[in-house]
């Protein structure tokens, strides 16, 4: 990080265009250390910079890494079709700074969703070469049986897939719920695997990615939080 002018700082944090940020500063809407700043050309060290904008505290972040407990009925897309997008659950500043979902959950799937504006992070987390396990809790229409678990572990053939796909692990939680762990991340994979195994997925939640669990984040549906460095490390294969 380095010194930047105030208009560039506000723009990088998602408060609008550079011209618009200059106007915010000229209007006296930004304070640093309790002092109103009005010269957009003034330079400040960004590392550890804290300021207020419209009276709300803000901490400068070069990139943001976010965990969201996604509710049902939201699409993981910037260009939505039938449902509101997950970005509507975040402050609008994140849209301005091009925060994007890391991978996708179906509109009716709930649970842990990562979001960021860091391109290399998004690419790394989305790459199938990383083999990071993703944990899902599936509610099934028909009872969970030992035969179903065995079928999912041995592999099921899906349409358009050259080889059978198998769960890394799978266990029954109760009569109609199972935990299934995958690393491939194929389109509708859990639902398609259950259908191919002779059952039907009536509800689906992603409960963990790597060693980062939704439970540890203590997020209610629709809530989000920044991920710190230690939490992001739990997503790395080296932590597994």
How do residues 57-114 score in pLDDT, each as one tens digit? 999 999 999 999 999 999 997 776 788 999 999 999 999 999 999 988 999 999 999 9
Q: Identify the bridge partners of residue 69 per DSSP, sorted by sequence position.
A: 112
pTM listed for this prediction = 0.91
At the second CATH level, the architecture of 65-127+215-239 is 2-Layer Sandwich (3.30)
Angle 126-105-80 (CA atoms, 0-180°, nearest 5)?
Answer: 105
Q: Is the pLDDT of residue 163 over 60?
A: yes
Using one digit for the tens of pLDDT, what is the confidence trace for 173-229? Answer: 999 999 999 988 888 999 999 999 999 999 999 999 999 999 999 999 999 999 999
Q: What is the pLDDT of residue 29?
A: 96
Burial 181-193 (b: 16+ CB within 10 A, else e): ebeeeeeebbbbb
- At CB < 8 A and 24+ separation, what contacts does 148-156 make? 148/178, 148/194, 148/197, 148/198, 148/199, 149/178, 151/197, 151/198, 152/180, 152/193, 152/194, 152/197, 156/193, 156/196, 156/197
pLDDT category, 126, cuts 50, 70, 90?
A: confident
| Upper half-sphere CA count for residue 206 (Cβ side, 13 Å) | 31
Closest to 10 in 3D by CA, of 93, 87, 69, 101: 93
| Residue 46: φ, ψ to 5° | -80, -25
- Ranking 70-74, 116-120, 129-133 by mean pLDDT, the lowest is 129-133
The catalytic site residues sit at 106
**What is the C-alpha to C-alpha distance for residues 24 and 40, in angstroms, rounded to an integer?**
9
Q: Is the pLDDT of residue 5 over 70?
A: yes
Q: How far is CA 20 from CA 40, 113, 181, 211, in A?
A: 11, 31, 46, 41
Using one digit for the tens of pLDDT, what is the confidence trace for 10-43? Answer: 999 999 999 999 999 999 999 999 999 999 999 9
Q: Among the residues of 104-174, which ranges form H helices?
A: 119-126, 146-154
Q: Is the pLDDT of residue 239 over 70?
A: no
How do the domains of the chain map onto residue ranges?
A: 3-59, 65-127+215-239, 133-209
Closest to 152 in 3D by CA, of 112, 106, 189, 206: 189
- Tokens standing for residue 6: 């105030």
Q: Do domains 3-59 and 65-127+215-239 have the same CATH topology?
A: no
**What is the C-alpha to C-alpha distance for residues 204 and 72, in angstroms, rounded to an integer?**
10
**CATH class of the domain at 133-209:** alpha beta
Query: CATH code for 3-59?
Result: 3.10.290.10
């Amino acid at each position: 990080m380095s010194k930047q002018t105030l208009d560039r700082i506000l723009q990088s944090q998602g408060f609008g265009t550079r011209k618009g940020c200059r106007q915010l500063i000229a209007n006296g809407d930004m304070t640093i250390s309790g002092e109103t700043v009005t010269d957009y050309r003034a330079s400040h060290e960004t590392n550890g910079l804290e300021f207020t904008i419209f009276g709300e505290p803000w901490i400068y972040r070069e990139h943001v890494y976010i965990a969201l407990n996604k509710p049902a009925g939201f699409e993981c897309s910037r260009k939505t079709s039938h449902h509101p997008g997950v970005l509507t659950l975040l402050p609008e500043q994140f849209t301005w700074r091009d925060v994007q979902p890391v991978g996708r959950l179906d509109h009716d799937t709930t649970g842990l969703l990562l979001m960021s504006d860091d391109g290399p992070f998004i690419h790394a987390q989305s790459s199938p070469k990383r083999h990071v396990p993703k944990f899902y809790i599936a509610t099934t229409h028909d009872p969970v049986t030992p035969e179903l678990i065995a079928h999912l572990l041995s592999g099921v053939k899906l349409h358009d897939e050259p080889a059978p796909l198998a769960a890394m692990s799978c266990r029954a939680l109760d009569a109609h719920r199972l935990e299934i762990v995958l690393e491939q991340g194929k389109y509708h994979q859990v639902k398609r695997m259950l259908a191919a195994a002779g059952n039907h997925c009536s509800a689906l939640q992603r409960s963990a990615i790597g060693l980062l669990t939704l439970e540890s984040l203590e997020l209610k549906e629709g809530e989000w939080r920044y991920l710190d460095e230690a939490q992001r490390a739990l997503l790395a294969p080296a932590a597994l």
